[in-house]
Protein backbone atom coordinates (compact mmCIF):
# COMPACT_ATOMS: atom_id res chain seq x y z
CA UNK A 1 0.00 0.00 0.00
CA UNK A 2 1.38 3.44 -0.92
CA UNK A 3 0.98 6.32 1.48
CA UNK A 4 1.91 9.95 0.91
CA UNK A 5 2.85 12.21 3.80
CA UNK A 6 3.05 16.00 3.83
CA UNK A 7 6.83 15.93 3.40
CA UNK A 8 6.61 14.02 0.09
CA UNK A 9 7.85 10.80 1.63
CA UNK A 10 6.45 7.71 -0.03
CA UNK A 11 6.26 4.52 2.00
CA UNK A 12 5.80 0.97 0.84
CA UNK A 13 4.34 -1.17 3.60
CA UNK A 14 4.11 -4.94 3.43
CA UNK A 15 1.65 -6.90 5.50
CA UNK A 16 2.16 -10.53 6.42
CA UNK A 17 -0.88 -12.80 6.88
CA UNK A 18 -1.34 -14.40 10.28
CA UNK A 19 -0.51 -18.10 10.44
CA UNK A 20 -3.10 -20.53 11.82
CA UNK A 21 -0.58 -23.05 13.11
CA UNK A 22 2.76 -22.50 14.77
CA UNK A 23 5.71 -22.92 12.48
CA UNK A 24 8.83 -24.87 13.29
CA UNK A 25 10.90 -22.29 11.44
CA UNK A 26 11.51 -18.80 12.69
CA UNK A 27 9.82 -16.48 10.22
CA UNK A 28 12.05 -14.08 8.35
CA UNK A 29 11.68 -10.53 9.56
CA UNK A 30 9.62 -8.29 7.33
CA UNK A 31 10.82 -4.84 6.42
CA UNK A 32 9.17 -1.65 5.30
CA UNK A 33 10.87 0.11 2.45
CA UNK A 34 10.91 3.90 2.26
CA UNK A 35 11.23 5.40 -1.20
CA UNK A 36 12.29 9.03 -1.06
CA UNK A 37 11.97 10.69 -4.48
CA UNK A 38 13.76 13.92 -3.48
CA UNK A 39 15.86 15.23 -0.59
CA UNK A 40 16.66 18.85 0.31
CA UNK A 41 18.51 20.50 3.15
CA UNK A 42 20.52 23.47 4.29
CA UNK A 43 24.14 22.97 3.25
CA UNK A 44 24.91 26.18 5.16
CA UNK A 45 22.31 27.36 7.67
CA UNK A 46 21.12 30.94 7.16
CA UNK A 47 23.18 33.40 9.18
CA UNK A 48 23.53 37.15 9.49
CA UNK A 49 26.58 39.17 8.50
CA UNK A 50 25.49 42.67 9.52
CA UNK A 51 22.25 43.07 7.58
CA UNK A 52 23.07 40.46 4.92
CA UNK A 53 21.55 36.98 5.21
CA UNK A 54 23.77 34.22 3.79
CA UNK A 55 23.41 30.48 3.38
CA UNK A 56 22.91 27.72 0.85
CA UNK A 57 20.58 24.84 0.01
CA UNK A 58 21.32 21.52 -1.70
CA UNK A 59 18.89 19.10 -3.39
CA UNK A 60 19.35 15.40 -4.19
CA UNK A 61 17.46 13.17 -6.58
CA UNK A 62 17.91 9.52 -5.54
CA UNK A 63 15.19 8.34 -7.94
CA UNK A 64 15.49 6.90 -11.43
CA UNK A 65 13.68 9.89 -12.99
CA UNK A 66 15.01 13.27 -14.15
CA UNK A 67 13.48 16.42 -12.65
CA UNK A 68 12.93 19.99 -13.72
CA UNK A 69 14.05 21.53 -10.41
CA UNK A 70 13.32 24.95 -8.88
CA UNK A 71 14.66 26.21 -5.55
CA UNK A 72 13.32 29.40 -3.94
CA UNK A 73 14.63 30.89 -0.67
CA UNK A 74 12.64 33.61 1.12
CA UNK A 75 12.76 35.69 4.27
CA UNK A 76 9.38 36.54 5.83
CA UNK A 77 9.26 39.35 8.39
CA UNK A 78 6.99 39.83 11.41
CA UNK A 79 4.22 41.50 9.36
CA UNK A 80 4.25 38.80 6.65
CA UNK A 81 6.24 40.68 4.00
CA UNK A 82 8.40 38.27 2.01
CA UNK A 83 11.80 38.97 0.46
CA UNK A 84 13.27 36.60 -2.12
CA UNK A 85 16.80 35.71 -1.10
CA UNK A 86 17.59 33.23 -3.86
CA UNK A 87 16.09 31.49 -6.87
CA UNK A 88 17.52 28.85 -9.20
CA UNK A 89 15.94 26.69 -11.88
CA UNK A 90 17.89 23.76 -13.35
CA UNK A 91 17.55 20.17 -14.60
CA UNK A 92 18.33 17.61 -11.88
CA UNK A 93 19.31 14.27 -13.35
CA UNK A 94 18.42 10.95 -11.74
CA UNK A 95 20.66 9.73 -8.90
CA UNK A 96 22.46 13.06 -8.64
CA UNK A 97 22.92 16.02 -6.33
CA UNK A 98 22.48 19.65 -7.30
CA UNK A 99 25.24 22.20 -7.09
CA UNK A 100 24.93 24.45 -4.05
CA UNK A 101 22.14 26.99 -4.30
CA UNK A 102 23.69 29.96 -2.48
CA UNK A 103 21.97 33.13 -1.33
CA UNK A 104 23.26 36.37 0.17
CA UNK A 105 20.87 39.31 0.29
CA UNK A 106 20.53 42.60 2.17
CA UNK A 107 17.48 42.84 4.46
CA UNK A 108 16.02 45.87 6.23
CA UNK A 109 15.68 45.75 10.04
CA UNK A 110 13.17 43.22 11.35
CA UNK A 111 12.60 39.66 12.58
CA UNK A 112 12.76 37.08 9.77
CA UNK A 113 11.88 33.45 9.25
CA UNK A 114 14.06 31.99 6.49
CA UNK A 115 12.22 29.50 4.27
CA UNK A 116 13.30 27.40 1.30
CA UNK A 117 11.17 25.44 -1.15
CA UNK A 118 12.49 22.80 -3.50
CA UNK A 119 9.97 22.02 -6.26
CA UNK A 120 10.60 19.27 -8.80
CA UNK A 121 8.49 18.50 -11.84
CA UNK A 122 8.67 14.88 -12.94
CA UNK A 123 7.34 15.02 -16.50
CA UNK A 124 7.61 11.24 -16.94
CA UNK A 125 5.15 10.65 -14.08
CA UNK A 126 3.21 13.89 -14.56
CA UNK A 127 3.81 14.85 -10.92
CA UNK A 128 5.24 17.65 -8.83
CA UNK A 129 7.30 17.03 -5.70
CA UNK A 130 7.80 19.70 -3.04
CA UNK A 131 9.97 20.01 0.06
CA UNK A 132 9.60 22.97 2.44
CA UNK A 133 12.47 23.93 4.76
CA UNK A 134 12.47 26.41 7.61
CA UNK A 135 15.61 27.61 9.39
CA UNK A 136 15.70 26.48 13.03
CA UNK A 137 15.67 30.01 14.45
CA UNK A 138 14.42 33.43 13.38
CA UNK A 139 17.04 36.01 12.43
CA UNK A 140 16.92 39.55 13.81
CA UNK A 141 18.35 42.30 11.62
CA UNK A 142 19.06 45.42 13.65
CA UNK A 143 21.49 47.40 11.47
CA UNK A 144 20.54 49.60 8.52
pTM here is: 0.75
Q: 37-141: which CATH architecture?
A: Sandwich (2.60)
Q: Is the pLDDT of residue 110 over 70?
A: yes
Selection from 113, 120, 131 nearest residue 74 by Cα? 113
- What's the whole-number average pLDDT of the chain? 84
Q: Is the pLDDT of residue 41 over 80?
A: yes
pLDDT score of 34: 59
What are 39-44's contacts with CB under 8 Å, separation 24+? Answer: 39/131, 40/71, 40/116, 40/118, 40/131, 40/133, 41/133, 42/116, 42/133, 42/135, 43/100, 44/100, 44/102
pLDDT score of 144: 76
What confidence tens digit (pLDDT) does each residue in 64-107 have?
999 999 999 999 999 999 999 999 999 999 999 999 999 999 99
Amino acid sequence: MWLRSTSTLLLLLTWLPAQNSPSKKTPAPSTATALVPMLAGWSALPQLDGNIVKGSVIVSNPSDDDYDQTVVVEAVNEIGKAFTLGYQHFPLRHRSTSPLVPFATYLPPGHYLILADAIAEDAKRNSVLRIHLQAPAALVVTTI
